[in-house]
Amino acid sequence: MLEEEPQENAVFSFAAHVDDVPIYMGNLAVGVNRASGQIISYMGLEDHPSVFISVPRQPAVSFQKALERYAAELEIRLEWFYQYKGERDAENQAETADNSPAPHKQPSGVCGETSEIHHRDKGIRYTLIYRPHFPNGEIRFIDAMTGEPIRERNKR
């Protein structure tokens, strides 16, 4: 077995915060030479931190109201979902590693004894899932000042 040589440089990453609130996609990274300790690279925020001086620091919409707005736009659909054998094996290994309980079994009558149908010859497993659906377009965020949804751009 080959041993990897240590990298010449190390990179340290940090999440940027203002008033203990994380900045979405706001990461800082500092590259340091391991031998000399010199900073060799820095990647910070696109804007200067002073931009936060002039913006409101408290939301106008409560967390509960934002949650209610999100829920009002959300539909949950019951659908069949399948995983190929490789995906299922990885999922089972992860469950075993963290001692998670076995998947919940539906009462008989849904599809035999469980909600899963195994196709051993193709390595596929079907299971019932509840999937979120946004009929008016997927919501990425709720504006904390207006309570209005900020939607996913149309993908064409």
Question: Poorest-confidence range of 46-55, 83-92, 120-129, 141-150?
Answer: 83-92
Is the pLDDT higher at 88 or at 109?
Answer: 88
Confidence at residue 98, expressed as pLDDT on a 0 to 100 scale: 52
Q: How confident is the model at residue 104, as a pLDDT?
A: 42
How confident is the model at residue 117, as a pLDDT? 58
- The neighbouring-strand residues paired with 50 are none
- Cα separation of 146 and 154, whole Å? 22
Using CA atoms, how far apart are residues 33 and 43, in angstroms rounded to an integer? 15
Q: Is residue 68's pLDDT more than 90?
A: yes
pLDDT digits (tens, 9 = 90+) for 22-64: 999 899 999 999 999 999 999 998 888 888 888 999 999 999 9
Alpha-carbon distance of 116 to 129, in angstroms, equals 11
**Alpha-carbon separation of residue 3 from 6, 9, 35 (angstroms):** 9, 17, 20
- pLDDT per position as a tens digit, 123-136: 668 889 999 999 99
- Coil, helix or strand for 153? coil
pTM: 0.59
The CA distance from 103 to 92, in Å, is 10
Confidence (pLDDT) at 7: 80
The structure tokens listed for 65 are 């109201």
Higher pLDDT, 110 or 153: 153
pLDDT band at 2 (very low <50, low <70, confident <90, very high): low
